[in-house]
Structure formats: structure tokens, C-alpha cells
Amino acid sequence: MSTGDDIAPKVRSILDAARERATAREEASDGRVDVDARSLTAAFEAAEADGRVPLIAEVKPTSPTTDGERTDDPVELAESMVAGGAAALSVLTEPEHFGGSTDALERIRAAVDVPVLRKDFVVRESQLDAVEADVLLLIVRFLDEEDTDDLADLLAAARERGFQVLVEAHTAAEVERALAAGAEIVGVNNRDLGKLEVDLGTFEDVAPEVPENVTLIAESGIATTTDAVRMREAGADALLVGSAIVDAAGGSDVEANTRRLVTAETDPERAETETHQ
Ligand SMILES: O=P(O)(O)OC[C@@H](O)[C@@H](O)c1c[nH]c2ccccc12
């Protein structure tokens, strides 16, 4: 069991808020969700067949490591991402630190045809019923903490409700735990939740631990087409990108930002001229 000393204070506050929301839902005890999920792997295969880099574009109005906040209608942001070729979307539903909401996810999922990932800090079963989504995120590192459910139990509880589950890891040891719990979709987060620093070398180091039959996603810190190609060469079946597409500080064109990454493998010379962070 981890003591949690290696979690950044900002992240600890996110985790505390998640546990409070779990308790509130336990007290409310609404019914269980029953999801008819759109297949994430089918969406990746369709993108691949079409010559697009399989990309999950993230609707992230802000974050503890972002300057500024994007206040556009989240549905419009989502539609721009799909128009730019995103195979799937990720929507933050964490309200206090990321400007997200379950309402935004519901509206986005109703407006698009692609699979939608619910990005939140789910630590107890009651949180699974907050909103329907095609894919649910579980973060290995957080399920070591006090007052959280066990990863394998949460994975099973999510699947019983119809969710596909993306299990997020940051180290080889966490990948082992994800696989032991039965994960079929694994994300390697390049951001260290201890220091909040990003290093794309994380994915390169950890990717070889993941067997071929598991869908592998490179998460965080992918900003340029060079980064995108680098993660694909290291074995990423798909990429998860938020900040570089949403560009909260610059307010640039979300559709164009998405398309640039989606076409990274077919249009590599763009890497030379791009000025985007
Ligand atoms: O904005 P970025 O660096 O492109 O990263 C997106 C995504 O990977 C990141 O938002 C993320 C990865 N894991 C998380 C867990 C919770 C909240 C957010 C995240």
C-alpha cells in the first residue's frame, strides 16, 4: 500500500474532492447506469483504415497545470474535434479543478457519434453511476489510497454497467497491476502525478511491458506532430491529447489543431513548420 506521500498537493486535493463526491452519491443512492457503449477499438480501427492517427481529443476547459480557461460551449469544441478527424473524445467531468461537468458529457455524447471517455477520478463504485459514457477511466495510482475500492472490483463493476474501461498507469509496476486486474485497454500517462511534470520518455520506457493484444494509449504532453509520430513509433495504438488541441491560453482553432495531429503520419513535413507549443 502506498502512503500517498509522492502525490503532488494539487493532485491530493483532486483526490479528496473525488472521495467527497463518492460519499455524496452513496447517500443519494440513485440507480445504476446501463450503458450501450460505442466500441473504442472499432473507432480506432476505422481511423487507421482511413489513414488517420487514432486520436482521442480531450475537452478540458482548464486544469491545475493549464494557464487560462476555454469558455467556449463544450459541445462546439467537441464537434470541432470530430470535424478535425478525432476517432474518439475524452470529456473531463471533474468540476472543481478541471472545469468539467457530467452535463457537458451528456450533451456532447448526444451530439456526436464517436465513443466518449469519461475523464474523472473514480475511486469508488458509487461514482460510476454519475453519468453514462462509452469508456470509463480508472487510474491505478489512485486506487492505492485510503477509502478507495480495489482496481479489479471497480473494473468488474464498470463492465457490469456496460462501460469499456481505460486503465491508466505511469510505471511498469502499475502496468503489471493493470494487466493483473484484467485491463484490455491501457493508457500510459506521460505526466507524473507526483511532480506534475511531463516526459514522453515515460511511454517509451513502459510501452514494451504491454502485450500486443492489449490496446495501448499514449497520454499527455503530446503537442507537436513530431511528438505524435514519436509515440506511434514507440507502439501507441492511439493518442490522448488535451492541452495542445484545446489551447486554453491561445484560443486557437480546435479543428485545425486536431487535424494536424490526426494527419501527422501522412504529412510529416508539417513538423518542420509548426510553431504550436
Ligand atoms: O493535456 P494533455 O497534456 O494533452 O493531456 C491529456 C490527458 O492525458 C490528461 O488530461 C490526463 C491524463 N490522465 C488524466 C487523469 C485525470 C485528468 C486528466 C488526465
Ligand 1: distance of its center to the CA of 97 in Å? 12
Q: 80 to each of 10, 18, 32, 149, how far by Cα in Å?
A: 30, 30, 32, 36
Q: How far apart (Å, rounded) are the C-alpha atoms in residues 122 and 139?
A: 8
Q: Averaged over 61-83, what is the pLDDT?
A: 88
| ipTM (interface predicted TM) | 0.97
CATH architecture of the domain with residue range 9-29+39-267: Alpha-Beta Barrel (3.20)
Distances (CA, A) of 13 to 61, 64, 121, 140: 18, 11, 11, 17
Integer Cα distance of 162 and 233 in angstroms = 32
Is the pLDDT assigned to residue 269 strictly greater than 70?
A: no
Cα 102 from Cα 108, distance rounded (Å)? 10
Burial class (CB in 10 A: 0-12, 13-18, 19+), 184: middle
Looking at residue 64, what is its pLDDT? 80
Distance CA 220, CA 94 (A): 17
Q: Is 272 a catalytic residue?
A: no
Find the range with the poorest average confidence among 58-67, 101-110, 165-174: 58-67
Rounded to an integer, the average pLDDT of 206-210 is 97
Q: Is residue 138 predicted with pLDDT exceeding 70? A: yes
Centre of ligand 1 from the C-alpha of residue 45, in Å: 23
The verdict on the CB of residue 60 being under 6 Å from ligand 1 is: yes
Q: Where are the domains of the chain?
A: 9-29+39-267
